[in-house]
Chain A
Amino acid sequence: MLRFALLRILGAIPTLFVVIAAAFLLVHAAPGGPFDSERVLPPEIEKNIRAAYHLDEPLPQQFARYIKGVLQGDLGPSFSRREYTVSEIISDAWPVTFLLGAMGLIVALSFGIVFGLTAALRRNTVVDRLLSGLAMTGISVPVFVVAPVLVLLFAVHLGWLPASFSGGTGAGRFILPVIALALPQLAYIARLFRASMIEVMESDFIRAARAQGLRTVSIVRHHAMKPALLPLLSYLGPAIAAVLTGSVVVEQIFGIPGLGQHFVNGALNRDYTLVLGLVIFYAALIIALNLVVDLLYGFLDPRIRRQ
């Protein structure tokens, strides 16, 4: 197990390095830098600005400087919000995004498993077909369609919940964003779990348990649940990435001051350093969480470790 864990951790480092290098080169090889504004600056001032941000150095040297900064948690200054550094913006914003994402994932997992289980146990009945149809709808309809429709219904017409994050206080303001964020993943998890539960329920050891006269409830609880949950674990990695992507849209719609909102605003304002820093932060987060899922999988399923 230790060897497996070490190999996986070592394997993640080059991936992260490639991400940083690719993102850095993309931004620095781009035509037109962050200081190519319409207004023409006197040459000395422009030279001073370029020197202040080390843009006058050759590219490899800039890259080395940037990597050194990243290792120390310094992602450079933000170009659009000059009074802040990129690291300050990220450390201010990540808790909201993390909270939102974690709640979304928990909601998606718990409800997805319940719905998937219900559909699997009532396979080919009306209930199953209804749930499967709903799941397909949930997968197909994008977050940025679901979220505004939820706002129109529950905030504008019924007035039960606040329409925007800043317009409410307490837990109520989280309800609509979390639902919107969770729905597609919930639907996907329900489908996945239905399929894996059906497969497990048809295997020999379950038939043996049935032959012994065990009730379906105890078969599911004691025998089928664990093996059926395993495939979900390997979906957790993509699910985390999808929830982070979804949070970009959800934060935009509900006005939540998280990473996603800075990312979109930075992208629209062409704030190169902020977007670069956020891409690296998102990538590191996704790679790290994937690593955790990987290790968990290896811990639970010994066959993976031996490969």
Chain B
Amino acid sequence: MSEVPSLLQTRQSIRGNRLVVSCVSLLLALAVLSLVGPLVSSYSVDTIAFDQSFIAPTLEDGRLFGTDDLGRDLFVRTLKGTQITFLVAIVATLVSLVIGVLYGATAGYLGGKIDAVMMRAVDALYAMPFVFFVILLMVVFERSLFLIFVAIGAINWLDTARIVRGQTMSIKQRSFVDAARLTGVSSAGIIWRHIAPNLLGVVIVYITLTIPQVVLFESFLSFLGLGVQEPQTSLGALVSEGVSRMERAPWMLLFPASFLALLLLCLNFLGDGLRDMFDPKSHTG
């Protein structure tokens, strides 16, 4: 039994690496396309032209993805939507990261009763139906990108906090932390300067695992009309418009939907591959 798994593992890690590399390249290509495409195209994202509505995708006039019911160019809209989706993914993930790392590192570093209370709170929060709470937020407050960043970021930090706490507890027993404490560095200083940098590996894995969740949730909100609002658009909002017109103009659904699916597939494969590389035990096979 002993030689076979190791051989298999090597082969799998190479395969995993190749998958990770191709996912990263595809994501970069999508990002570049979404930034450059709208600049190159001669159409704008929100110019309404009723005489141009429902043009099927064609190479003529650069209507690569066709137009929607209001005659807006779908190529530009899909790429602009991808931009917003990327933006929300990055900012909301950063928000969740800051909360998760600070919370987890504080609990893990301080330990004892404070740690117990803080982690009990996390356990209780796991049972909360956050999705419904975020929708409540969207009902009560003015819907804005800022609110979306904060709301989505604020619900995705629980896993990060748990993992970071565990890591912190093992890091704080290392001698350089003792040395810092003896020279009189405050707890906050030690967490920020000595513990946080050492959490980088784990944090990178959890960033890649959080991003697809954030993207999925943002597009879910936008699909329901509770996320990104006009004149801005996101892939979720475009899919929602596409669904309402899918019998008349299937391309309105298919292009944004494929972009979203491709994006999520890449992000999930990337997160999975990185987790296997950093922590082979977490996942069998």
Is there an interface contact between B260 and A27, defined as CB atoms closer than 8 Å? no
When chains A and B are docked, how far (Å) is the Cα of A19 from the Cα of B225?
A: 24
Please tell me if B127 contacts chain A, counting CB pairs below 8 Å: yes
Please tell me if A283 contacts chain B, counting CB pairs below 8 Å: yes
When chains A and B are docked, how far (Å) is the Cα of A148 from the Cα of B242?
A: 9
Given contacts A140-B212, A195-B285, contact A15 B127 (CB under 8 A): yes
Please tell me if B250 contacts chain A, counting CB pairs below 8 Å: yes
Say what secondary structure dominates the interface of chain B. Answer: helix
When chains A and B are docked, how far (Å) is the Cα of A196 from the Cα of B129?
A: 27
Given contacts A144-B220, A194-B285, A248-B224, contact A282 B129 (CB under 8 A): yes
Please tell me if A89 contacts chain B, counting CB pairs below 8 Å: no
Is there an interface contact between B131 and A245, defined as CB atoms closer than 8 Å? yes
What B residues does A19 contact at CB under 8 A? 128-129
Output the least CB separation between B268 and chain A (Å): 5
Most buried by B among A14, A144, A194: A144
What A residues does B250 contact at CB under 8 A? 152
Most buried by A among B129, B212, B242, B268: B129
What A residues does B236 contact at CB under 8 A? 144
Is there an interface contact between B139 and A137, defined as CB atoms closer than 8 Å? no
Please tell me if B269 contacts chain A, counting CB pairs below 8 Å: yes
What A residues does B285 contact at CB under 8 A? 123-124, 194-195, 198
What B residues does A237 contact at CB under 8 A? 127
Output the least CB separation between B38 and chain A (Å): 23
Is there an interface contact between A195 and B283, defined as CB atoms closer than 8 Å? yes
Is there an interface contact between B284 and A198, defined as CB atoms closer than 8 Å? yes
A-B residue pairs, 9 tightest by C-beta = A30-B140, A140-B264, A140-B265, A145-B257, A148-B243, A141-B261, A279-B132, A198-B284, A144-B223
Question: B residues within 8 Å of A by Cβ?
Answer: 8, 124, 127-129, 131-133, 135-141, 212, 216, 219-220, 223-226, 236, 239-240, 242-243, 246-247, 250, 253, 257, 260-261, 264-265, 267-269, 272, 283-285
